[in-house]
Amino acid sequence: MTKINFVIGLTDVEDYDGFVYDTFPNEDNIDRVSYNIQRADTSIEKDSIVWELDLTLDATKNIIKVWEHIIRRPHLAMIHRVATKNVLAPTYTNYNLNIHFTNLIPILSDYKLTPTNSDYEKFTQKNNFGDMYLDVFSLYQASNIHWQTTLEYAYAHNLIDKLDVHNPLNILPGFMFNFELNPNQFNTTARRDPRFVEWINENKDALAEKGYTLDDPYCTVGRLCIGKLIGDPWDEYQKLQKYSRICRTSIVKVEE
């Protein structure tokens, strides 16, 4: 059986001329960096982190298809890394990573693919340490959908007035990874939080006018886990402490 892994190469070389940096204002308690990997170079790579992609999801298979299309044309391989000291354990750092493959040439219509009903069935409000999630917020932005008009915003703010009718998202290879130290770590893929279901039922009529009912697969909030971290989470976390830059990204077939 063929497996497919997503791999990032890590380095402590920060002044590599293949990185094109964006700029952010300085903040004392946040180490934030954003850059495009204009030219990958394995010679500066010191270690790597690997995720096994979930090939049971239509979204994962479609992401790979779109990724292959994008990287064959002018594109950006954007890396966003945010490091903040943990509030209760300040000797440790929380890491949030985002990796976006951004097209600079319009995507052909054959590659404008949307999440399927079965994909929406796998959305969860849980965020497991180190796992790989589809960055839905980047999909909103790419689809010109304002965050304030989404179901997630309406639920988070208990405000339905600005909610727009459901607008299908186009799948793009934008990924997020959360390596935050948390005393309530868990490993679950629960479908819907009971509080969300309760909110839907409390606002049933107003939401139905906007086209959202619990029977609709897209009537959900949260994120879609598309890859599981391989290895001991503690070992992988320590790599991020040691190496401050991602210098390579790859999608690799693994034959068993």
Looking at residue 191, its pLDDT comes to 58
Mean pLDDT calculated for residue range 52-56 = 97
pLDDT in tens, 61-85: 999 999 999 999 999 999 999 999 9
The answer to whether residue 122 scores a pLDDT higher than 70 is: yes
Mean pLDDT calculated for residue range 218-243 = 96
Domain total in the chain:
1
Looking at residue 190, its pLDDT comes to 52
The answer to whether residue 192 scores a pLDDT higher than 90 is: no
The answer to whether residue 1 scores a pLDDT higher than 80 is: no
CA distance 28 to 36: 24
Looking at residue 167, its pLDDT comes to 87
Q: Can you read off the two tokens belonging to residue 52? A: 């096994």
The answer to whether residue 27 scores a pLDDT higher than 80 is: no
Task: Mark out the alpha helices in the chain (DSSP H runs).
Answer: 58-70, 117-121, 136-142, 151-157, 194-202, 204-209, 233-242
Of 26 and 228, the one with more pLDDT: 228
User: Helix, strand or coil for residue 113?
Assistant: coil
Domain span including residue 244: 2-255
pLDDT in tens, 128-168: 999 999 999 999 988 889 999 999 999 999 999 999 998 88
Which candidate, 111, 120, 125, places its Cα nearest to that of 155?
A: 125
In degrees, rounded to 5, the angle at the alpha carbon of residue 216 between the alpha carbons of residues 153 and 190 is 70
185 CB-near residues (< 8 Å, 6+ apart): 128, 129
Mean pLDDT calculated for residue range 99-107 = 96
The 10 Å CB-count burial string (b at 16+, else e) for 118-153 is: ebbebbbbebbbbbbbbbbbbbbebeebeeeebbbb
Q: Is 219 within 8 Å of 212 (Cβ atoms)?
A: yes
Q: Can you read off the two tokens belonging to residue 6? A: 């997503």
User: How confident is residue 113, by pLDDT bands cut at 50, 70 and 90?
Assistant: very high
